Chains A and B, each alone.
Chain A
Amino acid sequence: MKLKRHLKVMATLILMMILAACNNVNSTEGETSEKTDLDEKVTLVEDAIIKAESPDASPQLALNREDTVIVGLQEPGGIFTPYFNTSGYDGNVQSVMFPPLVEVNEAGESIPGLAESWDISEDELTYTYHLREGLLFDDGTPLTAEDVEFTLTLLHDPSYPGGTDITEAKVVGGLDYKNGEAEDISGIQIIDEKTIEITTEEVNARALRLLGGQILSKGYYGKGYEKGDLDYLSDLHLKPVGAGPFRFVAYLPGQEIRFEANEHFYDGKPEVAQFIYKTLEGDSQQFFQTGELDYSALAANQDNFEFLQEIGFADTNIYTSSAYGYMSFNHEKELFKDPKVRQAFILGLDRQTIIDAYYQGYAQVANIPVSPTSWAYTEDIGSTTYDPEQAKKLLEEAGWLAGSDGIREKEGEKLVVYYFTSAGGLGDVLIPIAKENYKELGIDLQVEQMDFNALLARVENGDHDLASFSTTMLTDPYNGVSNFHSKSQSATFKGYGSDKIDGLIDATIATNDIEERKLAFNNLYKALEEDPPVILMSYTKVLSGTNARVEGFEPNGYRGISSSLKNLKIVNPSES
């Protein structure tokens, strides 16, 4: 799950880089207009749904498609078995066919999916999922607790090659199966056909969703399964059998993935007979405009918003992503051992100006490591202010004193900082402003731009001082802070962490009670403000347009459009 989202963000970055490259022609013009933008006050755009002004303007091409809805998607890798894909776009394809036991709503809360309800025991170690009545896979075979058991067993298989780490949930007997001789996992108990009970060793608020994920059919994917050998599954990657609103029909590489309405779906057969993901390599605007796409997510900015307004037939939706952008410190460098220095780097960077200039109101400065869409968000902690005077004071206190050439020094060493970022995107605006800001503080900021993969490799090497990143979609606020744990294996945060922070992070998943968790997160966010692991940058908006002839798309920051696909409906635009 994490993997998919991560790659999705990464691919978006790449897409943005490509788009940015395409925009280079206008860059001289762009610079001047950006300058003027800086002087104006940019106001934050609110999340909104704006109905199309002239639905009749919908292109004939789209109107001719009476029972089919088409959505654009970047080319997937062709691995349509959940948990086995490496590309995030495969994840999008899977989510059409494979609803999870436990869904996420627009506030990041758990809601029923294939499971109609679940119980968590008093000691919060045992999870009992109750499946809906009469669930069927799209080939007509029943979906039962046995399939859930099979899926979880598969994820524990020693030869499982995918990116889902099920051992995090610490199912009793899970490791015995993965690393030992055990023939099954003792912590998984089938109570009856539609009830399954899973016992874990440790309280973990994330286990509910980790264990309640997408379900693979035992009769289909489990045919010929023997512990330790999953190679046979690769033949099934292009022939998925799920239990979602749509059933897989065909994959035409580089062109489209076709689905048809699934009459076995628990919520009833969708009204739309055919759903298609059309694969796109670059820009999607022109396809949306000519009516080839019914739904398109665009880079969130004023220009694209105006584009959607101008063409008239687009229902526009602006929502906030659950991810956040940040700039990480290299905590292994002596310089950043002192929290005061890190605080100075945060206070001394004019984040508001950078974000406003680049996103034109379609992003806000982040104050805590969780997005405002989440239940864990609060405005009361963290600050977004720009205070160069305070930053200078902190640097003085940390022993970095003004040098002869305006660059601060400590014990004969100059305050030179290397900042790595991917080419294009936010960096284009951030670099000149950050250089200026830090120069004022007496910091010499050196910048290197590179492609995303090279950036990761060099950060892993520890060559950087600062590096820009964005998180993936965060279905649980814990995912936004887990890397700050000293036991976290993430290369980006090597050297950060203390027992105090570790304890506070652990506390956020040590209970399933949402109010208690809120409190735990508040405590953690306060501590992180004192000892900042990163420079928090932004919460961005997502902008999407729907052809007014289609109703039912309800994208959200956690699941994108996938949870609303079942409600799609084609309406005659002149009547709506």
Chain B
Amino acid sequence: MKGYIFKRLLYLIPTLIGASILIFFLYSLVPGNFVDSDMNLTLERKAELYALYGFDQPVIKRYFIWIGNLLQGDLGYSLQFQRPVDEVLGNYIWSSFIVALASLILTWLIAILIGVVSAIRQYSVFDTFVTILVFAAMATPSFFLGLMIIKFFAVDLGWFPAGGIITTGSNYTGWAYYKDVAQHLVLPVLVLTMLGIGGLARYFRTNMLEVIKQDFVRTARAKGLKERVVVFKHALRNALLPAITLFGFELPALFSGAIITEQIFNWPGVGAVFMQAFTVRDYPLLMGFTMFIALLTVFSNLIADLLYGVADPRVRLR
């Protein structure tokens, strides 16, 4: 097992180098850069700024400078914020994380429940109704869903704030603060959950359907176990196994922010910042963040693979 982990860790190195090459050179192909976007600069001033930011160096050389800094843990300096990239990301990433985590937990819990119930009651009224509902939610574009929810719950009913993370100008501390944030959290989490549930619920339903038709489930029933125990203990556990891989993919999503939903709910998350960085071509921020997500993706894949081995003895390596 240890040897396996070590080998897998070694494989990460070429993967990450490949990712860094792709990220750097793809971004360098994008037309326009931070300095050019100011139409009013004179050519002289532009040249000065080019030199200042290092844009005048050849691409290859810039790549090695970038990767060299990266290895020392330096993500670079955001042009737009004039602060180190990790500091900028640190300002925004946690608020993205809270929303993503809350909606992740909700999505999985509800999706598992729906998946199980619609599998054991296949083709029932509940199954059909829920299928239509989750597909409808999944098929609605996030901005539309978001705006409808704002219109209904924030503007018309006034139950929840229309956006932001705290009440503007408030000075709450302690519990009042957490309560305030939680109130602002409801609508964006609702939207993200509605968007995410459909696919997952269908996934669990299919897995569950497959599992409950298998022999060991029949055996469990035959030996007189209660239906609840059969479904939730024997069948569900097996149906959940493939989901571990899926769960691995969710890890980077926890940090990557939801660009559109954040924008609509004015949530100070990293998705919105990323979008803004792109419009002004703040390359250090863009590259640093993309690289960070790439790193998370690679690691979460590794973790998923290892966990899979823990959960399912059949694929365990010795």
Contact = CB atoms under 8 A, between A and B. Distances in A.
Given A292-B161, A489-B43, A453 B155 contact: no
Interface in A248-284: 252-256, 258, 274, 276, 278-283
B80 A87 contact: yes
Contact of A77 (B81, B150, B161): B81
Given A77-B81, A253-B268, A286 B162 contact: yes
Interface string B32-68: 1110111111111100010010000000000000000
Nearest to A74: B276
Chain A: interface size category: 35 or more
A84 B79 CA distance: 12
A572 interface: no
Contacts of B37: 10, 452-453, 456
Given A78-B83, A87-B80, A254-B165, A3 B40 contact: yes
B145 to A, nearest CB: 11
Contacts of B81: 77-79
A87 B37 CA distance: 11
B163 interface: yes
A70 interface: yes
Interface in A126-179: 161, 163, 165
B309 interface: no
B39 A456 contact: yes
Between B147, B150, B151, B162, the greatest number of chain A beta carbons within 10 A of the residue's beta carbon is seen for: B162
Contacts of B108: none
Given A253-B268, A451-B279, A492 B168 contact: no
A272 to B, nearest CB: 12
B69 interface: no
A454 B32 contact: yes
A3 B38 contact: yes
Contacts, number: 147
B186 to A, nearest CB: 15
Contact of A290 (B38, B45, B141, B154): B154
A292 to B, nearest CB: 6
B281 interface: yes
Nearest to B44: A489
Contacts of B129: none
Interface in A433-471: 451-454, 456-458, 460, 469
A297 B150 CA distance: 20
A6 interface: yes
B91 A287 contact: no
Given A258-B169, A278-B168, A75 B276 contact: yes
A14 interface: yes
Interface stretch (B119-127, B209-217, B258-266): B258-266
B228 to A, nearest CB: 45
A454 B143 contact: no
B40 A472 contact: yes
A454 B281 CA distance: 10
A279 B266 CA distance: 8
A453 B32 contact: yes
A478 B82 CA distance: 31
A490 interface: yes
A191 interface: no
A186 interface: no
B76 interface: no
B293 interface: no
B164 A290 contact: no
Interface string A1-13: 0110011001100
Contact of B269 (A254, A458, A492): A254
A364 interface: no
B169 A70 contact: yes
A191 B127 CA distance: 86
A11 B277 CA distance: 12
A163 B40 contact: yes
B169 A281 contact: no
A281 B40 contact: no
B144 interface: yes
Between A10, A11, A258, A456, the greatest number of chain B beta carbons within 10 A of the residue's beta carbon is seen for: A456
A22 interface: yes
A8 to B, nearest CB: 12
Contacts of A292: 161-162, 164, 168
A254 B162 contact: no
Given A6-B40, A59-B158, A452-B37, 7 more contacts: A70-B169, A77-B82, A255-B268, A282-B264, A283-B264, A456-B32, A491-B39
20 contacts: A3-B38, A3-B41, A22-B147, A70-B168, A75-B272, A77-B81, A86-B80, A86-B82, A252-B166, A254-B267, A254-B273, A255-B268, A292-B162, A453-B33, A453-B37, A453-B280, A453-B281, A454-B31, A456-B36, A457-B33
Which 10 A-B pairs have CB atoms at the shortest separation, nearest pair first?
A: A254-B268, A453-B32, A457-B32, A457-B31, A253-B91, A489-B42, A489-B43, A454-B31, A286-B162, A281-B263
